[in-house]
Amino acid sequence: MQVSTYLKLSVAVALATIVLKTGAWWLTGSVSLLSDALESLVNLAGAMFALLMVSIAAQPADADHPYGHHKAEYFSSGFEGVLIFAAALAIIWAAVQRLLEPQPLQTLDWGLTLSLLATALNGLLAWSMLRKAREVRSIALEGDARHLFTDVWTSVGVVVGLLAVLATGWNWLDPLLAIAVALNILREAASLLRRSADGLMDRALDPEDQARIREVLTQFEHRTIRFDHLVTRRAGQRLFVDLHMHMPAGWTLGRAAALRTSVEQALMGAVPGLRASIQLLPADVEAHLDEGRNPL
């Protein structure tokens, strides 16, 4: 399935889990189940925004965006991080009110059943989405999948906590559990916002990808051929590497271009989604770069 198909499925599952978790809260009056339902609302908004951003990122380059629209995916993960943060604050506010005025819980059996059903739906979808995200290197899909996983563990914690309330009769455990859920959600929000900011600021490729690039270049290095001034960056699903290739000054342009083509093909074969830009230079010529670009 395509990334957009997974996100459409995420929207559908979010709607289903909202109904199930809201029903669980309505039956039991549990503020921790209410917090779980609120997070599902965030899931819905995040999936819809991610679907929009993925559609924009898939648009081809144009005159105003000659490098493409790949970075649109980072707005998705950032937006979802903000939504999660707001939901966490709302959960804490509701939990504090309930902590000050504890109330008995009702119909826990049906409420927990609905919550577990919603959790199973989220878990299956999150596992499938994360596999696809790693395959196509989509940060929007990965952000939505990781948020769903957070929702899964949140729901599991809520169920365990409510079972403890049922066993002990300590109703004050319910709002305390909701606060713990909110703190966990805040941690996930911070992670999504950090990843989004890293992408918008042209973060370098992962160490594994950089290692593959260096392995390829090592295969082409010779006493008359060397590479330097290598820099990498990631924009959504697209990966970029820029570098200089030095060779004998007496080589013809055709011979030099043929070698560059071989290097580019090898790099793109080793790192899927990579776009290589190689500048040709004579062996005895050094390029003058801006400060901050570290040579290889």
Q: What is the CATH number of the domain that holds 29?
A: 1.20.1510.10
Q: Name, in order, each residue with C-beta under 8 angstroms of 289's C-beta and a sequence gap of 6 or more.
A: 229
Element (H, E) at 221: none
Tell me which residue of 235, 225, 238, 234 sits closest to 278, measured CA to CA. 225
- Are 111 and 213 found together in one domain? no
Q: What is the pLDDT of residues 8-54, one digit of tens each?
A: 777 888 888 888 888 887 887 777 777 777 777 777 777 777 777 77
B/e letters for 72-105, b = 16+ CB within 10 Å, e = fewer, are: bbbbbbbbbbebbbebbebbbebbeebbeeeeeb
- Are 88 and 172 found together in one domain? yes
Q: Which of 149, 180, 200 is the last residue of a domain?
A: 200
Supply the pLDDT for residue 105: 66
Supply the pLDDT for residue 26: 83
- Are 180 and 224 found together in one domain? no
- Are 212 and 84 found together in one domain? no
Strand pairing report for 274-282 and 226-235: unpaired
The domain in which residue 41 lies consists of 3-200
Establish if 112 belongs to a structural domain: yes
Q: What is the pLDDT of residues 136-148, one digit of tens each?
A: 767 667 777 777 7
Q: Name, in order, each residue with C-beta under 8 angstroms of 168's C-beta and a sequence gap of 6 or more.
A: none
CATH number at residue 246: 3.30.70.1350
Q: What is the pLDDT of residues 110-125, one digit of tens each?
A: 777 888 888 888 888 8
Establish if 294 belongs to a structural domain: no
- Are 51 and 173 found together in one domain? yes
Establish if 287 belongs to a structural domain: no
Token digits of residue 122? 């989220």
Token digits of residue 19? 């109904």
Q: Is the pLDDT of residue 289 over 70?
A: no
Distance between CA atoms of 84 and 293, rounded to whole angstroms?
36
Q: Which of 168, 200, 232 is the last residue of a domain?
A: 200
Order across the sheet with 238-247: list the strands.
226-235, 238-247, 274-282
Distance between CA atoms of 150 and 171, rounded to whole angstroms?
25
Strand pairing report for 226-235 and 238-247: antiparallel
- Are 99 and 227 found together in one domain? no
Mean pLDDT, residues 229-253 = 87
Supply the pLDDT for residue 254: 92
What's the number of domains the chain is made of? 2
- Are 159 and 231 found together in one domain? no
Establish if 289 belongs to a structural domain: no
